[in-house]
Amino acid sequence: MEFKKDRSYSKSHEWVRELVADEVEIGISDFAQDALGDIVFVNLPEAGDEVEIGTPFCDVESVKAVSDIYSPVDGIVSEVNEELLDNPAQINEQPFESWLIRVKKIAKREELLSAEEYEALVKEEA
Amino acid sequence: MMERKTPLYHCHTECGGKMVPFAGFLLPVQYKSGVITEHNAVRTKAGLFDVSHMGELMLSGTDAFENMQKILTNDFTNMEVGQCRYTLLCNESGGIVDDLLVYKMQTDQYLLVVNAANAEKDEKWIEEHLFGAVQFENRSEETAQIALQGPLSLQILKKLCSEERLPQKYYTFKKEVPVGGISCLISKTGYTGEDGYELYCNAEDAVKLWNQILEAGEADGLICCGLGARDTLRLEAAMPLYGHEMNDEITPFEAGLDFAVKMKKNDFIGKSALQEKGERTRMRVGLKILGRGIAREECAVFFENKKIGTTTSGTHCPYLNAPYAMALLDREHIKPGTLVQVEVRGRMLEAEIVELPFYKKGQDRK
């Protein structure tokens, strides 16, 4: 299992990558995709939608179950990864490349974990 | 509650099975290759399932047959030794207590294979209704069950056992068949919509049998499969599952299981209630989800803004590569081709009523 060091992580298993000032990319962690199993659908929001800390902005469907993906920031969706609509399995194959949304105008962010801290959390949960 | 382990528990963990609690047992939901790979292996090659959690109840004695006729919905009059028969166990009001498979072992001896989650309930129910000269015994603890399913099943099993010793016809079985030196009861049955076999052996022989079959099938692409694939396979083949398409409030007719209920035979538990109920008002149907998303169980189904029923189970069907669901709907809206809406987490998804099953054996990918 991989815990990329160039990201920060939420306790609900999303990763966050800083793009430029005031814009981030959000995806789900390797641990999360592995726990979900084969992903077959992603319901993404639209550019311009507002996202809010602790509120689901998207759901990811595996064969087994549906899971909400929570936003770790308050902001506006600047872009969604439409490639995933046609190829949701990419999230299983490359969880760190498969960003779900990009968010700009970030007003607030939740306290995120470093890769090391997140790895420790996952080990505790496992 | 402490979950029980099947005799194959360590085989699963060694192969990377993700263990989850299910019906009181710890069982693999999937292995490393994942549900989709496991599912498609069964459709195109073969898959091996541990189904040791199923319950085995043995009913014997001179009145065994009469008890079967009274307690179960199917008719066993013309059943021969070596045949299997699907049947339902109904309550007094015509609802379903469980669905099960009956094996006629001898003239006065029947093996009943029941759902793990219902095993205790069934045993108690049957015991309470027994009469006359019968013995009733729970053999679940000492019995292991392994399902080998898929088009290459015979080819694989032939490597461990002479072909003449195997059951030839669907829904028949043979006893005391040596498979790699282990004595098994083998039936040509399954729950995947494919050809295949179910093998019963003594619990202490299970690991050896499992490993021998896996090894024999390796070159043919046989892989172990978990509960996840078991569920997607049965759903794709539109096989009903207790607790979803059936429960103690759903009648066999509503579930579309008329073939397993013989209203012409003498009285059986639930018969008069089923007669009184008359025409069914709702029916189990198939839904193909056209919108983006997956309808799982308990989703409301609408036709022209009116609620006409609820989904009973649904998922993305890996071989057909599309989401499907089963639902119990008002009878007036069940014509194939009808467009309905399914409410999934606050969104309305378009769906079409389609014929069951979604997948038929040997069908090409859609």
pLDDT confidence band for B278 (50 / 70 / 90): confident
**ipTM higher than threshold 0.90:** no
Q: Are B333 and B283 in contact (CB under 8 A)?
A: no
For residues A65-75, give the mean pLDDT: 94
Please tell me the predicted confidence (pLDDT) of residue B365. Answer: 74
Partner-chain residue, chosen from A38, A43, A92, that has the shortest CB–CB distance to B292: A43
Is residue B157 within 8 A of residue B179, CB to CB? The reply is: yes
**Residue in chain B nearest A42 by alpha carbon:** B293
**Amino acid B2: pLDDT:** 82
What integer best gives the mean pLDDT of chain B? 97
Q: State how far the Cα of B12 lies from the Cα of B59, in Å rounded to an integer.
A: 32
Please give the average per-residue pLDDT across B316-325, as a whole number.
96
Q: What is the pLDDT of residues B45-103, one digit of tens each?
A: 999 999 999 999 999 999 999 999 999 999 999 999 999 999 999 999 999 999 999 99
pLDDT band for B366, please (50, 70, 90 cuts). Answer: low
CA distance B291 to chain A (A): 11
Question: Does residue A126 surpass a pLDDT of 80?
Answer: no
Residue scoring higher pLDDT (A2 or B366) = A2
Distance (Å) of CA B73 to CA B67, B102, B188, B277, B356: 11, 12, 22, 16, 23
Q: What is the pLDDT of residue B362?
A: 86
Interface residues on A facing B, Cβ-Cβ cutoff 8 A:
37-38, 40-41, 43, 59, 61-64, 66, 85, 92
Amino acid letter, B30: Q
- Nearest by CB: B316 against A41, A59, A92: A41
DSSP string, A87-121: -TTHHHH-TTT---EEEEEEEEEPPPBPHHHHHHH
Confidence band of B159 (pLDDT split at 50, 70, 90):
very high
Q: How confident is the model at residue B1 (pLDDT cuts 50, 70, 90)?
A: low
For residue range B129-147, list pLDDT tens digits in order: 999 999 999 999 999 999 9
Q: What are phi and psi of A34, to 5 degrees?
A: -70, -40
Taking residues B243-253, report their average pLDDT. 97
Contacts of B167 (CB under 8 A, 6+ apart): B82, B173, B174, B186, B187, B188, B197
Nearest to B345 among A59, A62, A63 (CB): A59
Confidence at residue A21, expressed as pLDDT on a 0 to 100 scale:
85
Question: What residue type is B69 in one-letter code?
Answer: Q
